[in-house]
A and B are shown apart, each in its own frame.
Chain A
Amino acid sequence: DAGVIQSPRHEVTEMGQEVTLRCKPISGHDYLFWYRQTMMRGLELLIYFNNNVPIDDSGMPEDRFSAKMPNASFSTLKIQPSEPRDSAVYFCASSRPLAYNEQFFGPGTRLTVL
């Protein structure tokens, strides 16, 4: 298996622009997680899905952030409009059923908002 795939790997955009991050989880994994990593706050859970349904989005910082999972093999995290404080590395992770929450991470998307 190719592991969790994220695109793009790097994104540089200007404040106010819309940003869309993409994730393909490992086949057969029914949980998908979006995390954000910054130097100041470390790794933070933003939202997670089970069988394509959002379960907990309490970590989404504000209404500018939205996430979707239209099918079992694809998820997006959208920021609109983007702000400089959104600059971070965004990770997607997936987990298989009954695995006691061992999560497999993608390589991340480094987002820079100017």
Chain B
Amino acid sequence: SQQGEEDPQALSIQEGENATMNCSYKTSINNLQWYRQNSGRGLVHLILIRSNEREKHSGRLRVTLDTSKKSSSLLITASRAADTASYFCATDALGNSGGGADGLTFGKGTHLIIQP
């Protein structure tokens, strides 16, 4: 079953602008992750934020997590044409083995288009 729901479903912006995507989820989590999928390719891990963290940065990526609202956002700054892809949030549900690994629950993704 789907846990995360991304918003918006599609987003088109000009190169150089910032892109913000949101994710809501339903159950308590160990962590939340964001993945990117280029057309016809597998998913690539971007960033992971643990349930006790509120914000995390990695290069041009900034992720926030609000566990009280069960929501997360992914901000991509200074977007580039190469950022065109689908972006998925994935949750690792509480009750999973924490430091181990369990199946992730993915949302349906936000399709981001960067116009040159």
Contact = CB atoms under 8 A, between A and B. Distances in A.
Contacts of A100: 30-31, 48, 50, 92, 98-99
Interface stretch (B11-19, B57-65, B74-82, B104-112): B104-112
Interface stretch (A12-20, A77-85, A104-112): A104-112
Question: Which one of A35, A45, A95, A101 has the highest number of Cβ atoms from chain B below 10 Å of its Cβ?
Answer: A101
Contacts of A59: 103
A76 interface: no
Contact of B41 (A33, A50, A99, A107): A107
Contact of B43 (A48, A95, A105): A105
Given A48-B102, A98-B100, A42 B43 contact: no
B107 A101 contact: no
Contacts of A35: 106
Contact of B104 (A50, A103, A106): A103
Contacts, number: 70
A53 to B, nearest CB: 13
A102 B42 contact: no
B45 interface: yes
B100 to A, nearest CB: 7
A4 B30 CA distance: 25
Interface of B: 2, 30-31, 33, 35, 41-45, 48, 50, 88, 92, 96, 98-109
Interface of A: 4, 31, 33, 35, 42-43, 45, 48, 50, 55-56, 59, 91, 93, 95, 97-108
